[in-house]
Amino acid sequence: MRKTFKINFVDGHPMISDGDNTIVVDTCSPVTFHSDDTLHFMGADYVPAKYFRDETLLRMWDYTDLEFTTWMGMDVLSNYKLILDYANEEITFLTQDEPGIEGEEVTLHDAGGVYALQVDGWMYMLVDTRSPLSYISKCFTMSLKYEETQEQFYRGVGRFEAPVYDLNCDFCGRKVEIPYGNLPTDLDVTLMMAHVSGILGHDFFKNFKIMLDFKGGTAIVANK
């Protein structure tokens, strides 16, 4: 089974509609929050979380000012292959038996239930489909002057001001310029302790058509 959804980007957040549900797709969230006791999606039923650590659906509504019924995390997303085509504002969900796309295959690294890609030949960056902005550790930007600051939101942190730097990124032999922000210190240190250098968000993925196969541990980057 496969289904393609049109993405509505609201302040950079990818949102899709499925029946009566408006869904935020977040590959960096371990769990799914939903406004009902059961989430019906792609012919399957899922039981959403009521809370995770100090997070709830109500808190997500308060933090983001977005109107949605569902914050979809990896407990649901990992059951599918995802084809991200941000340039055409589409995301396709495929069950495991469905063929994907052709292109260059790279490793999708399991980072404890969320996943990372390697960029610039050595840096491991978390895959975050929800984040409007990409992030890089402060240790790589200490000597640089930022271009601007942006008010951002991140799960477990809330709202914060992020200095933003325009930096070159090399992925699968393609060089693109990415706006990278800095995360608050506590989250930045947590990522570095996990040997992760940052987070890839909307401004990264809009440059590529890519399929994420979580169970297969691979990503396929479509040829141009």
Residues 135, 78 share a domain: no
Range of the domain at 116: 103-222
Choosing from 62, 94, 126, the residue where a domain stops is 94
For residue 156, the model assigns a pLDDT of 72
Q: Residue 46 corresponds to which tokens in the numbers above?
A: 């899922």
Residues 158, 115 share a domain: yes
Residues 121, 68 share a domain: no
| Buried/exposed 137-167: b ≥16 CB within 10 Å, e otherwise | bbeebeeeeeeeebebbbbeeeebebbbbeb
Q: Are strands 81-85 and 209-213 parallel, antiparallel or unpaired?
A: antiparallel
Q: Does residue 224 surpass a pLDDT of 70?
A: no
Choosing from 60, 94, 128, the residue where a domain stops is 94
Q: What is the DSSP string of 40-92?
A: EETTEEE---S-BTTB-HHHHHHHH----SEEE-HHHHTTSEEEEEGGGTEEE
Q: Which residues pair with 154 in a beta bridge?
A: 158
Mean pLDDT of 28-47: 96
Predicted model pTM: 0.92
Give the total number of structural domains in the chain.
2
For residue 62, the model assigns a pLDDT of 81
**pLDDT band per the 50, 70, 90 thresholds, residue 63:** confident
Residues 195, 156 share a domain: yes
